[in-house]
Structure 1
């Protein structure tokens, strides 16, 4: 059998719960193959790996004891399978998280792994045979006295002087608290006159890029400025970060760097030096000849200044020196000036290629690109994976955005989502009208009816944790202002409630 692929969604699940609470949800596994498949699942705790955003599964008892304050798998109840999935179809596999009454506040973390063979017992615990990419990570926050604390460990540029307007920035953020943090912010780049020359966003409009407790995460960015002579000078880069759900905290840091063009500087300084040298040389020559001409007119051609005998330049008769007038000298100076300006101008054209590049701001993140792979600052909501017949590695990337845009993850296709449509205004037939609109957009409407009350306004969309992007995409097919609400206790992916003022 050739290579087979599976998909899992959502690749990242985040929720807040309280001690004693029971939370039910599900992950969707898609069989992208032409043959039926039996899927097996396993739950594994994880911790932060290296600073690129990877996480490591916790297998041995020593590690379990070390990270016992952040474990989650023992609270999760999930059928290990087999779960049969027909070709080209998907299956929602439910799970239940029962939080003990004694659970302490802070973050707890586990991953749901899916594969084609049942978990096998090993010396370090169970291990499912599947590529490490097929995982859905759960970030659970227990409400209470959480510690939301962090600091900027490093904000630096690779060098202090650059010979091109292309600067590499590095950010290292440390989470010193007991719950995951999502730092958001920006790097502003300003020239010596205070004008903004670039703005780089970090974790904008995304839920990805989290930093787990007691760990450090690194982001790398690249700023490219305008390639022109006026862009040389001293620059200031200011990083401003905020984090925290309970009480937002703000951190900032500033660094400075220079952008210079050494070839241009050498050519310019050399040309100016040459101009000054020639100017001094010909001024002295002009003065000397003027003195000789004046002496000749006064009949003292043989006597120099202060009685010192004057010397007539070889080849120039004293009688003809009066022809060296001011007009000739001005022509000479103009010629030298034009020559110097031409040399500098041609040098600039050669160096800059005769054009000015537009300013570009780029973000380079060294993390893997796919969320469910599981990394992404452009992670898809479905994480595709090639099934292999080997043990899963003990490491998987942490969901994050890819390198250049800080864009939202691509939402799942409408056909892969289960939706309910409810009437929240009391207007007869409203739920049916909403359902028709949804079905026209490719959504599967499983149920219509009345909402819990008729006091809703506009359009309300309730969505399962991790499906915010899908809820936003659904809201765009309506003309009515939309309110998005995350709901962890619904039995479908999305619930659409049309209230007063709804427009189809």
Structure 2
């Protein structure tokens, strides 16, 4: 006896719909796999970039026109993978960021002809490439040849260790190497102009309910040499007695010539009342000159919420008392 097979034939419209759903499901799987691969790939590239370190991060030098100075940058391959990295040294000029609140330098891929503070064109390297094994360090040697007609003042460049040769490095290589770049702040002797001013000193608001108190200090460099401001922000109470202070520019940031920079500092603990913040600073020029800078601002620390609640309670008590007096007077008159 043969078993009969039961078959269900779906309508043509339903079969077409089923095929469409299969296509959609296939496309979704492909998209998900592509997205997962992209995320994993990005993480691998990021980790690879983080495995490289470079020292020193900043170097300041002073030279005379016609002088030649040699230096080194140490590049370390921190990766434990058995891969030998190849690095190509390159130099790029930099200037201050267009936004004074952004302390990150702006690098030139192609330095403008009218930029008077260039340095990269004077830098040459002993070798075109360097190979660094895992957990190994290599010294990138460079030479700075100052021309006899070099303009006095500051000149600024960064030495990068790029994973791409100079002729194909481009913007992408600079972006990758920016995390391991070494900044060079050079001072060429001659007619040095050390000039700067403190243009603004303020708190983020005039009245605080509680700390932290945020200070913003804008310093403008109108000279031709970089300035490194330092000092303290003293906090005085209403009796003009100093009760606290804040170290200014503890990261030792510099202000490049013909630019402004905003420095941010913070006071984490303070009581209530009226206070005066007094900034007493010194801007140290690249050639050793000192420029005094001072400013002050007033701010308040008040428990506004508690004050408002207290005032509301007092007003309610006054209204209640007046209402009680009226009722009391009426009761007395009736008697």
Whether the TM-score (by the shorter chain) exceeds 0.5 is yes
Matched residues, number = 281
Match runs of 1:24-39 below 5 Å: 24-33=70-79, 34=81, 35-39=83-87
Work out the CA distance in 1 between the residues paired with 2:262 and 2:314: 46
Work out the CA distance in 1 between the residues paired with 2:261 and 2:88: 32
Match runs of 1:115-134 below 5 Å: 115-121=162-168, 130-134=176-180
Return closer, same or farther for 1:37/1:283 CA change in 2, 3 Å cut-off.
Answer: closer
1:264 to 2:314 alignment: no
Q: Deviation of residue 132 (structure 1)? A: 2.4
Secondary structure at the aligned position of 2:227 is classed as coil
Q: Deviation of residue 282 (structure 1)? A: 9.3
Q: Deviation of residue 151 (structure 1)? A: 1.1
Q: Deviation of residue 259 (structure 1)? A: 1.9
Gaps of 5+ in 1: 289-310, 315-504
Match runs of 1:72-83 below 5 Å: 72-83=119-130
What does the per-residue CA deviation read over 1:464-495, in whole Å, with 9 as the maximum and x for residues that have no partner? xxxxxxxxxxxxxxxxxxxxxxxxxxxxxxxx
Q: Which residue of 2 aligns with 1:153?
A: 199
What does the per-residue CA deviation read over 1:210-230, in whole Å, with 9 as the maximum and x for residues that have no partner? 11111111122232334xxxx
Work out the CA distance in 2 between the residues paired with 1:237 and 1:102: 46
Work out the CA distance in 2 between the residues paired with 1:37 and 1:145: 44
Q: Which residue of 1 aligns with 2:218?
A: 172
Q: TM-score, normalised by structure 1?
A: 0.50
Q: Which residue of 2 aligns with 1:241?
A: 281
Return closer, same or farther for 1:278/1:211 CA change in 2, 3 Å cut-off.
Answer: same
Work out the CA distance in 1 between the residues paired with 2:320 and 2:175: 81
Match runs of 1:261-300 below 5 Å: 261-270=303-312
Aligned partners of 1:115 and 1:134 also within 8 Å: no
Q: TM-score, normalised by structure 2?
A: 0.74
Aligned partners of 2:88 and 2:129 also within 8 Å: yes
1:57 to 2:104 alignment: no
Q: Which residue of 2 aligns with 1:42?
A: 90
Q: Deviation of residue 42 (structure 1)? A: 0.7
Which one of the candidate residues 194, 217, 228 is aligned to 1:182?
228
Q: Which residue of 2 aligns with 1:303?
A: none
Which one of the candidate residues 117, 134, 149 is aligned to 1:87?
134
Q: Deviation of residue 78 (structure 1)? A: 0.6
Q: Deviation of residue 244 (structure 1)? A: 2.7
Q: Deviation of residue 129 (structure 1)? A: 7.9
Aligned partners of 1:18 and 1:142 also within 8 Å: yes
Work out the CA distance in 1 between the residues paired with 2:240 and 2:166: 60
Aligned partners of 2:152 and 2:187 also within 8 Å: yes
Match runs of 1:313-328 below 5 Å: 314=335
Work out the CA distance in 2 between the residues paired with 1:113 and 1:247: 30
Higher normalized strand content (fraction of residues): 2
Secondary structure at the aligned position of 1:255 is classed as strand
Work out the CA distance in 2 between the residues paired with 1:177 and 1:94: 31
Which one of the candidate residues 206, 223, 241 is aligned to 2:267?
223
Aligned partners of 1:41 and 1:79 also within 8 Å: no
What does the per-residue CA deviation read over 1:138-195, in whole Å, with 9 as the maximum and x for residues that have no partner? 1101122211111112111222222334322211111111011101122122221223
Gaps of 5+ in 2: 1-40
Work out the CA distance in 2 between the residues paired with 1:129 and 1:272: 62
1:203 to 2:249 alignment: yes
CA RMSD of aligned residues (A): 3.1
Aligned partners of 1:179 and 1:213 also within 8 Å: yes
Q: Deviation of residue 313 (structure 1)? A: 6.9
Secondary structure at the aligned position of 1:120 is classed as helix
